[in-house]
Chains A and B, each alone.
Chain A
């Protein structure tokens, strides 16, 4: 495999072109997969024996929660690459993932609460997963606020990358602490996606939703990070050529 064809996308002009080319394809196919998953999950899948139609919220909750956590992992990897190799592309990706990941975390929390109301009777319950999601939201917010508070852009990139790195190392510790803490209080929150036996009619829309969400997420990151790369590489010739190309 010719690795050079991959490495060249670490350089800003190639990355910029690639992400703009991919953007609409990713967004489009993501939306299509989500629509298929939604139709399958909301209409075709049979209602659950225990919860009735209320379980259908997992088609939105699970992808959001999964993306919030893997988004943070990607942000941390991008931060490490940015810090070690001083790469503006990596810093742009990390900065773009932050608000999008925070939005997905918020969605996961809201859908979790919407799911909790019919399931447990109250909107918020101190479940291990929901509490971990809330803490993850706070960690995202800390990254975003730190980046915004520092005026010098290069300093802001590096400081928030350091914070993302420390956050990702602590994240498993926090998650397992919350799980341990939660098992002391009550153990009766058996979630639908915990049990190994999920009916296949309910599973395939979930798979579609997860893939759709992920592809859509990458599509959103494409444009955001392309813009951030443009800002950081303002002084380069390729940026000037690009702007001239747009003006004419």
Chain B
């Protein structure tokens, strides 16, 4: 099966399964809404919180929706078909992860700029928020896909996926929040951004390989 076909297939499926796609997005919106209501709306407080809130909501949203990447195909048997018919299963998984990111995380990032301005972020910092979210969601999606593939054969893996993803994602959360915070304080945030970029290349290159191995083990 050509990779081009996989892309076309995933796009068509996600258009029809639109309620699944919205899960992450709605979750992200709701969390971003809850924080000011719970913590108060002073400008300084919200400016301090926007980095952590963005990152944590992105993390939680990706964990909520990650089961949609492999579970439906595992259940209807098409994952096995893909294993047999493609020459490079890792490449197929890489494409699936990228499609998942485009479908599930990009809407999230697009509306993040509006949420950031609700948190009183202005000017160039909004661009930093978007950039940070792009880099960190790419890494988070790869980590969550790995966790989802390990637990493919388990019936209710929600808690296990969180337990696997959250410790491994801590560096991304730490540096992502700092990148946004420094940008808001008009300090130099290139350090955290370089780290995030490095982490993104690391997870995006190795993630599909370990995820493909984990799927082969789970389907065994």
Contacts and interface: CB of A to CB of B under 8 A. Distances in A.
A181 interface: yes
A162 B168 contact: no
A192 interface: no
Nearest to B191: A180
Contacts, number: 68
Contacts of B210: 162, 165-166
A190 to B, nearest CB: 23
Interface in B186-204: 195, 199
Given A150-B153, A162-B150, A155 B164 contact: no
Q: Interface of chain A, helix or strand or loop or mixed?
A: helix
Given A149-B151, A149-B157, A163-B150, A141 B170 contact: no
B168 A167 contact: yes
Contacts of B153: 150, 152, 155
Q: Which of B146, B157, B167, B178 has its CB near the most chain A CB atoms (within 10 A)?
A: B167
A174 interface: yes
Q: Which of A138, A154, A159, A180 has its CB near the most chain B CB atoms (within 10 A)?
A: A159
Report the contact-size class of chain A (Cβ under 8 Å from the partner): 20 to 34
A21 interface: no
A50 B69 CA distance: 56
A142 interface: yes
B75 interface: no
A139 B170 contact: no
A166 B166 CA distance: 13
A39 interface: no
A163 B217 contact: no
B29 interface: no
A174 B163 contact: no
A177 B178 CA distance: 11
Interface residues of B, number: 25
A177 B160 contact: no
User: Would you list the 10 A-B pairs with minimal beta carbon distance, nearest first?
Assistant: A177-B171, A138-B167, A142-B163, A158-B217, A142-B164, A181-B174, A135-B167, A177-B174, A149-B154, A159-B150
19 contacts: A138-B163, A138-B167, A139-B168, A141-B163, A142-B160, A142-B164, A146-B164, A149-B160, A150-B153, A150-B154, A152-B153, A152-B220, A159-B217, A162-B213, A163-B150, A163-B164, A166-B168, A177-B171, A181-B174
Interface of B: 146, 150-151, 153-154, 157, 160, 163-164, 166-168, 170-171, 174-175, 178, 195, 199, 210, 213-214, 217-218, 220
Given A149-B157, A173-B199, 18 more contacts: A138-B163, A145-B163, A146-B151, A155-B153, A155-B218, A159-B214, A159-B217, A162-B214, A162-B217, A163-B150, A170-B168, A173-B171, A174-B167, A174-B168, A174-B171, A177-B174, A178-B170, A181-B178
